[in-house]
């Protein structure tokens, strides 16, 4: 017999089906609630609301588990590469050799951008925020690839997925080059995904940037760790926009905008700025922790806390090790890493953080690694958007193919004035 929950309201009784996911998570299906009892649910921030069924990513926030298509993130971080993880997320399983080769070839073929599209970069102020450019340019891709605004075959989807995944990195590198007044560097078809990105970021027309293997591995790992995270703010945005049947470019551009905020992807910038200000201000780690606990201060410890993880964010654990090893290999001593480790050490024992289950999240250590690689702080969230693109594409497609999928349209509880007559201007 299937599980149900009973709701009694105003003398009426409603039996609600309880559905169970493949990892034993349970949810009450309230689909009949309004029709039968005239009620809706109220859940600001959707902390208790499942918006969809999904078979892409599983998170158990209490145990600190993250898996893509069933595979633990620790295994993917150690054994896989970003392009392979992208394929896994988008197409549902690990690719065979020929499938991966075909996808990689598509990425290479699509790495250049149309010359007219390139001229759009000149229209932005030099000091424009890179996330604004990222979102605008991804949206503009729809003008240059109109044949993909409606997808009618698997082949077309594979092609548009590759175009977006490939061009997003070219767009990011070009916006950085323009912001520092350097000529754009065209992608090199001989180079792999991450190396090609670093080439476009740091080479000069007269001097090739030599990518150290440690740097390539570190960045590859950062992208892998950001590739998907189920129904977070930006992914929910992508799915919401996609639910109106908007095309993939428009939906992904909306995802970039959602990611920009400091409580989401923008936190990686805030973490670095906060560590820098602690360093420059000569604050001790304990003083910074005390400020974060003081509610009158409006100061949060950035890179700490997570809506879902009430245990270590598994990505933060991997990145902490990566940060130490990358800095060692590159011979960089960064005082900000020492401060970060000091903050973590104190917070993990402090009752305020322990009681609220606030642990370091993915953004806490990623910035220190990117800084060591030479990526400027204002590009950190852009890096997140490159990493998250496979997840957005996979989630958009899942939503697109869902036969039961409906346009996302939440309800509300109205709390404004009741019926009020219009007052003419001279009577107000």
Contacts to ligand CMC by CB under 6 A: 232, 263-265, 267, 292, 300-307, 356, 358, 361-363
Supply the minimum distance, in Å, between the C-beta of residue 19 and ligand CMC.
24
Q: Tell me how far apart the alpha carbons of residues 374 and 249 are, in angstroms, rounded to a whole number.
A: 29
- The residues, ordered by sequence, that sit 6+ positions from 45 with a Cβ below 8 Å of its Cβ are 307
Q: In this chain, which residue has its C-beta nearest to ligand CMC?
A: 305
Supply the minimum distance, in Å, between the C-beta of residue 301 and ligand CMC.
4
Give the chain's radius of gyration (CA, Å).
Answer: 23
Supply the minimum distance, in Å, between the C-beta of residue 221 and ligand CMC.
16
Would you say 216 or 270 has its CB closer to ligand CMC? 270
Would you say 254 or 358 has its CB closer to ligand CMC? 358
Would you say 170 or 366 has its CB closer to ligand CMC? 366
Taking the CA atoms of 297, 308, 82 and 146 in sequence, report the sign of the dihedral they define: negative
Q: Are 33 and 40 in contact (CB under 8 A)?
A: yes
Q: Is 282 exposed, middle or buried (0-12, 13-18, 19+ CB in 10 A)?
A: exposed
Supply the minimum distance, in Å, between the C-beta of residue 303 and ligand CMC.
5
**5 phi and psi, to 5 degrees?**
-120, 150
**304 phi and psi, to 5 degrees?**
-120, 140
Can you list the alpha helix ranges (DSSP code H) found in 145-202? 154-179, 193-202
Catalytic residue among 145, 229, 306, 313: 306
Catalytic (active site) residue 306: yes
Catalytic residue among 363, 401, 404, 421: 363
What's the number of CA atoms in the CB half-sphere (13 Å) around residue 336?
20
* Short-list 224, 225, 255, CA closest to 399: 255
* Short-list 331, 388, 339, 386, CA closest to 364: 339
Supply the minimum distance, in Å, between the C-beta of residue 304 and ligand CMC.
4
Would you say 32 or 345 has its CB closer to ligand CMC? 345
Would you say 66 or 107 has its CB closer to ligand CMC? 66
Residues with catalytic annotation?
A: 306, 363
């Amino acid at each position: 017999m299937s599980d149900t929950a009973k709701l009694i309201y105003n003398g009426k009784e409603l039996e609600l089906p309880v559905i169970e996911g493949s990892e034993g998570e349970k949810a009450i299906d309230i689909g009949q609630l309004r029709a039968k009892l005239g009620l809706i649910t109220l859940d600001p921030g959707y902390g208790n609301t499942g918006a969809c069924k999904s078979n892409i990513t599983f998170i158990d926030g209490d145990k600190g588990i993250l898996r893509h298509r069933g595979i633990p993130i620790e295994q993917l971080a150690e054994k896989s590469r970003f392009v392979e993880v992208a394929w896994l997320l988008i197409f549902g399983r690990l690719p065979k050799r020929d499938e991966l080769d075909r996808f990689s070839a598509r990425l290479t073929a699509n790495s250049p951008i149309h010359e007219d599209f390139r001229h759009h970069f000149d229209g932005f102020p030099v000091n424009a925020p890179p996330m604004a450019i990222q979102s605008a340019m991804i949206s503009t891709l729809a003008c240059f690839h109109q044949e993909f605004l409606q997808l009618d075959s698997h082949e077309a989807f594979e092609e548009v997925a590759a175009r977006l995944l490939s061009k997003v990195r070219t767009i990011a590198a070009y916006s950085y080059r323009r912001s520092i007044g350097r000529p754009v560097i065209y992608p090199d078809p001989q180079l792999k995904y991450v190396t090609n990105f670093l080439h476009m970021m740091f080479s000069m027309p007269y001097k090739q940037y030599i990518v150290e293997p440690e740097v390539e591995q570190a960045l590859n790992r950062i992208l892998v760790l950001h590739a998907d995270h189920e129904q977070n703010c930006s992914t929910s945005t992508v799915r919401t926009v996609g639910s109106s049947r908007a095309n993939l470019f428009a939906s992904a551009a909306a995802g970039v905008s959602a990611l920009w905020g400091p409580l989401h992807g923008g936190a990686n910038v805030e973490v670095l700025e906060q560590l820098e200000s602690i360093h420059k201000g000569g604050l001790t780690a304990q003083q910074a922790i005390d400020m974060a606990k003081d509610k009158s201060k409006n100061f949060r410890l950035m890179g700490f806390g997570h809506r879902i993880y009430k245990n270590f964010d598994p990505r933060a654990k991997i990145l902490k090790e990566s940060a130490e090893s990358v800095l060692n290999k590159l011979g960089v001593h960064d005082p900000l890493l020492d401060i970060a480790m000091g903050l973590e050490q104190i917070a993990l024992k402090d009752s305020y953080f322990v009681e609220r289950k606030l642990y370091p999240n993915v953004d806490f250590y990623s910035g220190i690694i990117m800084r060591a690689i030479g990526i400027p702080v204002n590009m950190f969230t852009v890096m997140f958007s490159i990493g998250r693109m496979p997840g957005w594409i996979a989630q958009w497609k899942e939503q697109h193919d869902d036969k039961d999928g409906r346009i996302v349209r939440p309800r509300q509880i109205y709390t404004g004035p009741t019926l009020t007559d219009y007052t003419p201007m001279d009577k107000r």
